[in-house]
Amino acid sequence: MPLVEKLILYSGKSPVRFHMPGHKGGRGVPKNLRLMMEKNLFRWDVTEIPGLDNWHDPEGAIEEAQRLLAELYGADRSYFLVNGSTSGVMAMLGAALEKGDEVLLPRNSHKAALMGIILTGAKPVYLKPQVDEELGVATGVPLSEWRKALEQHPDAKALFITNPTYQGFCPNLSGISSEAKARGMKVLVDEAHGPHLAFSKRLPSSAGECKVDVWVQSPHKMLCSLTQSAWLHLKGRDLDRERLRSYLSLLTSTSPSYILMASLDVARAVMETRGRYWVERGLELAERARRSINEKTPFYCVGREVRGRRGVYDVDLSRLMVNVSSAGYTGFFVEKVLRKRFHIYAEYADFSNVYFLLTGGNTRDDVAKLVRALKRFPARKKKIKSVCFPGDLPERAMDPGKAYFSPAEWIHLDAAFGRITSDAVVPYPPGVPLLYPGEVVEKQHIEVIREIQKAGGYCQGIKNGRIKVVKNG
Ligand SMILES: Cc1ncc(COP(=O)(O)O)c(C=O)c1O
């Protein structure tokens, strides 16, 4: 049982968890609910049997649980999801768009959005996010750029926006959504990383407070439900509910897990009864860690000072973005040392930064261990330089869906000039797709890929120096 053996090894080392899920090994779930879930894992592992309601057509307990969830988030309707926010993102795009419809979205959207676009045959209009050169990451698209795009594409049917990004950067959601709704567009929000936002005044606005049609959240990331569970909320009548329902059904197993749905019910109950406490506790811990990292280690932990700078409207301070390149390290290196030497597990690292997620499931002891470990890294004289990204968006030769499903071949990067990509190429950092399916590879793209790889970065969509392109394209 190779996987089981790995899991035993991982959990046996008492890892310090700064990664998802937000329950942090169950510690963040109130004890009575945790014990109930643990005791009944196998006994409750059922799917749609008579008397237990039916996810695909709920009328009983699932419907009631979803109603309570909608009430909590101020939605008109909410749905439990068992295939992550990924399925919610795809379903909302499916519900809002017909083949050929234009949709505006930042180029650094999650890949589920690309899949939704491919599924619907919609035409994406990408907005370029700003890049913070010092941190080496993409940030967000300012309101002024959204305005320009709204004016240039008055017939676009929808706008897709992420709040917050993986890094915790938030857009001016209220401003952007109001302008888009005034023009009759549907506003779809990927709030996978933001189910906690509504529970603290110290956090950026959540989609539920803005003029949006639909928003999806992953409570497994920042709250205490089990991995892969998510939920989706709907407001108003502008989005076709039947179409949304039908897309959700299309993307969901005919045997949805009642364990995952029970964990969603638990997460909702926890947030209803002590949501503020849970979120404030995570925030307090993050603030404590941020202060100590900035005072006692050579690294820079990003804080509220980035608000209003380079595409950042607001920032979710319950996650830590620790810039290590300014002290001469790559994020990949620091993440590895923390994991191997200290059993401290970060959420993620890129070339310049390491990310840590803190929730009500973390403790002061976790923070103390992290700060102690980071203090062990001496500052280095030589700074790490971030890699530059080409200024213009690439030429599009084919619709993403057509390119994605066309016969394809893997060819060496040297031979890729002028060819049409059949899959996305996403260098980390900054995590913004350099090329989307259907776009033409230019010399500058090849150079950037090489530069990133030379510097030790990772490039999704490139394997052994090869790229996937449309055959005969
Ligand atoms: C911005 C964003 N949206 C959507 C998703 C997909 O969420 P899930 O993992 O719940 O499917 C992710 C996953 O990390 C994400 O970062």
pLDDT (tens digit, 9 = 90+) per residue, 429-462?
666 789 999 999 999 999 989 988 887 778 899 9
Q: Cα of 383 to ligand 1 centre, how many Å?
A: 32
CATH superfamily, region 400-470: Molybdopterin biosynthesis moea protein, domain 2 (3.90.105.10)
Indicate whether residue 219 lines ligand 1 (CB < 6 A): no
Q: What is the pLDDT of residue 422?
A: 96
Q: Give the residues of the chain that fall short of pLDDT 50.
A: none
Q: Is 427 in the pocket of ligand 1 (CB under 6 A)?
A: no
CB distance 102 to 153 below 8 Å: yes
- Phi and psi at 282, nearest 5°, equal -60, -40
The answer to whether 428 touches 351, Cβ cutoff 8 Å, is: yes
Give 224-266 pLDDT, tens digit per residue: 999 999 999 999 999 999 999 999 999 999 999 999 999 999 9
* Distance separating alpha carbons of residues 320 and 349, to the nearest angstrom: 11
Which residues lie below 8 Å from residue 183, measured CB to CB, with a gap of 6+? 150, 154
Backbone torsion region of residue 157, taken as left when φ is above 0, otherwise alpha when ψ lies between -120 and 50, otherwise beta: alpha
Residue spans of the domains in the chain: they are 2-25+276-375, 31-268, 400-470
- Distance, in Å, from the CA atom of 389 to the CA atom of 448, rounded to the nearest integer, reads 7
Instruction: Say what the pLDDT of residue 64 is.
Output: 98
Burial of residue 284 (number of CB atoms within 10 Å: 0-12, 13-18, 19+):
middle
pLDDT, one tens digit per residue, over 266-297 is 999 999 999 999 999 999 999 999 999 999 99
* Spatial CA neighbour of 106 closest among 70, 83, 69, 140: 140
| Nearest atom of ligand 1 to the alpha carbon of 230 | 10
What's the confidence (pLDDT) of residue 387? 65
CA of 381 to the centre of ligand 1 (A): 37
| 20, 80, 85, 221, best to mutate for ligand 1 pocket (most atoms within 8 Å of CB) | 85
Q: Are 224 and 23 in contact (CB under 8 A)?
A: yes
- Which atom of ligand 1 is nearest to 89's Cα? 4
For residue 435 and ligand 1, the question of a CB distance below 6 A is answered with: no
Other CB atoms within 10 Å distance of the CB of residue 71:
12
Measured from the Cα of 220, ligand 1's closest atom is: 10
Measured from the Cα of 165, ligand 1's closest atom is: 1
- Is CATH 3.90.1150.10 the right assignment for the domain spanning 2-25+276-375? yes
Answer whether 31-268 and 400-470 agree in fold: no
Q: Check if 230 has its Cβ closer than 6 Å to any atom of ligand 1.
A: yes
CA of 348 to the centre of ligand 1 (A): 13
Q: What is the pLDDT of residue 338?
A: 98
- Give 88 Cα–ligand 1 centroid separation in angstroms: 10
* Ligand 1 and 84: CB distance under 6 A: yes
List Cβ neighbours of 243 (8 Å cut-off, separation of 6 or more): 94, 95
Asked if 337 contacts 416 with a C-beta cutoff of 8 angstroms, the reply is no
Domain topology for 31-268: Aspartate Aminotransferase; domain 2 (3.40.640)
Cβ atoms 195, 278 nearer than 8 A: no
Q: Is the CB of 110 under 6 A from ligand 1?
A: yes
